[in-house]
Amino acid sequence: TKRARKQKIKKSRCKDGKKECQKKIMAKKIHNIEGVQLGTASSHTRYGDKEDSLLITLPKTAKVSCKFTSNKLKAAPVQLAINNLSSYSSGAKAFLINAGNANAATGQQGMKNVKSYCKAIASELNLKEENVIPFSTGVIGEALPVNNYLSAFQEANTKLSPKNWAKAANAILTTDTRPKIISKQITIGKQTFSITGFAKGSGMIRPDFATLLSFVFIDAKINRRSLNKMHAEALDCSFNAITVDGDTSPNDSSALVANGNEAKLVETNSKAEKKIAQCVKGIFKELAELLIEDAEGATKKIKISVSKANNLQQAKSVAFTVAESPLVKTAMFGSDANWGRILSAVGRDRTIKTIENVQIKVNDVPLVKKGNIDPKYSEAKASRAMKKKEILIQIILNTGKTEFEVLTSDLSEDYVLINSDYRS
């Protein structure tokens, strides 16, 4: 039956999933961020007793940069977060994150619900209401069981610890099979800076700034303008360069936080700021890659590399057109060296005027030259290339000097089954 098949998929996806990944996380060195504390608890709703609610408290010195979905359907917590961030003041801050219910398309009641638990937690933590920032992920259009989540956040408050990173990364998951967390240190002169971040996302992924949430924390004092710039640049080469299915969630949110550590002041435009920005970019890119590796139903990780494009707009447009083509993605799943699908996707892109100069390779195996089959094409070599778990599709447009890369996944029967009755 369909349900039995879904259970089989779930077991298959989780075989080396949450528990195994949890062990790997615990084996890794996770660097705590001074002043940042995390607590988790269960709302006892969609996921039973699994911890699905996360409270993060930030010191009063912290600076916060957040980017949100471009979807015109913005969930109630996203609307409130944007409003609060536009007016938040000095003082300690908190993030409230729940999984299982998106609180999107829930009207005025949805906004009342999120405001009510934010107000209650602000009171418990003795914070200003505008300094509590909510995030949600899960099913769209269902009423939020506000009392359950409030109780969970209150319980999480009793479990706050600077060491709960693995639990936090696990608490925000929905259809993901494993938590995604990256932690690094960078030494600049005599100072060592720690950066730790975690994210979730497996389907409904095409952030434009999927169901995607990301939280990255820096142990440093960085002004808000520099932090916003750092955040935007990191997103451009990470979450803005991935797609699973082309769908943008009403809840997509990314937060970059500097804890304001006075002993680790980073001057604007300094060498230290540039090095930290590079490290932040690396963490965002690694988190984005982990999301693609755990994409719903995915069996392959695919990079679409577009080079020699006329401009960045064309490079991006072609890369995403190919990455989101169902015919290309299903051919990748079936290891079918059907290069015509790739060329057709390039040819229908709105920025392409002619395909006469287009060249295509897969894992360096020639497929197309000057818009036609490459004289060096080998079906046997192309088929072998397609069978690999990591595939590089190289598209050379020969119209300019710009390049852009997108990470995506294949499209399998499992993806269809996972999403055909997501709410069950």
In DSSP terms, 365 is beta-bridged to: 362
Q: Which residue matches tokens 């912290």? A: 62
Which DSSP string do the residues of 83-96 spell out, in sequence order? HHHHH--SS-EEEE
- Pairing state of beta strands 213-218 and 253-258? parallel
The residue annotated as part of the active site, out of 57, 137, 174, 211, is: 211
Rounded Cα–Cα distance for residues 116 and 99 (Å): 17
CB 253 within 8 A of CB 208: no
Residue 304's nearest CA partner among 202, 403, 199 is: 403
Nearest to 283 by CA among 261, 257, 316, 246: 257
The one-letter code for the residue type at 222 is I
Residue 202: closest CA among 171, 168, 183, 179? 179
Closest CA to 242 of 197, 202, 280: 202
- Distance CA(34)–CA(58), nearest Å, equals 9
What is the amino acid identity at position 45? T
Active-site residue, 211 included: yes
Please, where are the H alpha helices in 172-270?
Answer: 224-236
Q: Is the dihedral of CA 47, 288, 253, 106 positive or negative?
A: negative
Indicate which residues carry an active-site annotation.
211
